[in-house]
Amino acid sequence: MFWLLIVLAYLLGSVSGSLCLGKLRGVDIRTLGSGNAGGTNALRTQGLIFALGVVLIDVGKGLLAAWLARHFLPGNDMAAMACVFTAVVGHIWPVWHGFRGGKGAATLIGGLILVWPQSLILLFAVWFMNLLLTGYVGLSTVLAAISLLASAAWSDANAEVWGFAIASAVLLTYSHRSNLQRLRAGTENRFEKARLLGRLLSGRRG
């Protein structure tokens, strides 16, 4: 049953919200904007309503993967976390879409809702604070994923949770490698409207 759930989680993760909704609209957002099949590029290229639909699908499949593991293997936290991680892998490398998907953050959040809800407090705090300071969505997401390590440390987590936290942080850092490369080169897109604290602090220094 464990391996069946793992396969199912990967297939669920491979259902890309942006690409499925894009087919209904006659667009492939991998050919637009940043070329990424995720919520941020969906927002920039297709608008808020489309992006909300993408996020709901991508969060939902992570949540469903975790729920299936909890339902069929109750009490097996390792199986639930493994299914969430596998769903994220499916989102990044989807079998249904030529192995070119998104970056996995929304699917990870969906899974965390069930398998580790306490970690979402720090995760969202780190994401929002960094976005308000810098305006960089990719950097904010990487730092939010890394915050799982801090949550594991503060909660005195067991080896399974530590493994999940490390693997998830590494995977999302890798999936955002192009953002980090552009950030280093000074060419990363900045969400300027979200950089409220950054502009405020710059104004005070000026």
pLDDT for position 79: 97
**Average confidence (pLDDT) over 129-146:** 96
| pLDDT attached to residue 204 | 57
34-51 residue pLDDT tens: 778 888 888 888 888 998
> What is the DSSP-derived secondary structure letter of residue 118?
T
CA atoms within 13 A on the CB side of 181: 5
Supply the pTM of this predicted model: 0.92
For 11, counting Cβ atoms within 10 Å of its Cβ (0-12 exposed, 13-18 middle, 19+ buried), the class is middle
Terminal Cα-to-Cα distance of the chain (whole angstroms) = 61
What are the distances in angstroms from CA 86 to CA 14, 93, 97, 167, 177?
10, 10, 16, 11, 19
Percent of the chain surpassing pLDDT 90 = 74
pLDDT tens readout for residues 94-128: 999 899 999 999 999 999 999 999 999 999 999 99
174: pLDDT strictly greater than 60: yes
Whole-Å CA distances, 83 to 4, 6, 8, 179, 180:
10, 5, 8, 26, 27
Give per-residue pLDDT as tens, 46-68.
888 998 999 999 999 999 999 99
CA 142 from chain center: how many Å?
9
- Give residue 179's identity as a one-letter amino acid code: N
Q: Is the pLDDT of residue 198 over 80?
A: no
